[in-house]
Structure 1
């Protein structure tokens, strides 16, 4: 399925609306998986379902227009970033409505992350920490997004970023250390 999706992504990047819609159809289940994983960590933030998050993500991606994706992995990584942005926006709105409350610390261990329900404050703190990491090491921040939010394997991330597997592993280690310190303060 990779070759047809890649071809359709290139056509969509050149403005072919039918190709963009076909990409959406072909990758809808994978997008739902990303949304499901993202919402599993944020049930107290929003009552949105996976379909709503996927469609909101798709609408945001469409408003950018002319977006070029090299392949399925790049597309899904970008979709994960868009979903992160949507859920973070929801968390900001939710936090603005709340007064007080204890802040829970968010773990960056991806195996434990699926069992943790992010409070709005956790999501906002993580977003702020990722922004700080982006300013210091943009590639390491992309590795976090692709691994933590998109659930991509290290080999897929290495391919998407055109770096070695070991580079992705080192970036992940550095990013985890940075974010762990940033989230403790």
Structure 2
């Protein structure tokens, strides 16, 4: 991780101070770009370039800046929250792209049954499938979903996840293995 932000920034940003959010984001910008780049790199392997790194970080900033009050105990908690915001941005981008692919802006015309059967629909991209499986996992085991969210979407290390969740490193490792097993089965 990068250097720690000034201690007074986290409570001020959590209290809704826009200048503190700006400064905190500026100090952690490199860390957020690293996480966004890693997440987007994994997305582009499947040919699904959604956003560039800068756009993802800036959209994440916009979502965090709009929040009235947030609570950040430390830098890791801030990055964990940012990873959740990144997930939200990416899922919204996939949904928007799917809506466009399915004629979101086109004039809708009623099709006859015969023509409708001949049309094919695109497969759901990996990111949206992961999001849906992660939502299922959150309903069963919320902590496992948090671990996946922080690691997959936020790029946090196991040590950073352990600090953010207040659990041991070995617990994070076990949770990651259990979550991977669940997601593997859900994505098959």
TM-score scaled to structure 1, two decimals? 0.82
What is the aligned residue count?
A: 166
Counterpart of 2:126 (choices 122, 129, 141) is 122
1:41, 1:158 → 2: CA distance?
23
Deviation at 1:176, TM superposition (A): 0.7
Corresponding position of 1:85: 88
SS at match of 1:168: helix
Corresponding position of 1:155: 159
Root-mean-square deviation (Å): 1.7
Corresponding position of 1:26: 27
1:41, 1:155 → 2: CA distance?
21
Equivalent residues of 2:11, 2:73 under 8 A apart: yes
Corresponding position of 1:8: 9
Unmatched runs of 5 consecutive residues or more in structure 2? 103-119
> Which structure has the larger Rg?
2
Corresponding position of 1:66: 69
Residues 43-62 of structure 1, C-alpha deviation per residue, up to 9 Å, x if partnerless?
34445321111111111111
1:45, 1:83 → 2: CA distance?
16
Corresponding position of 2:121: 100
TM-score scaled to structure 2, two decimals? 0.81
Equivalent residues of 1:38, 1:84 under 8 A apart: no
Unmatched runs of 5 consecutive residues or more in structure 1? 104-119
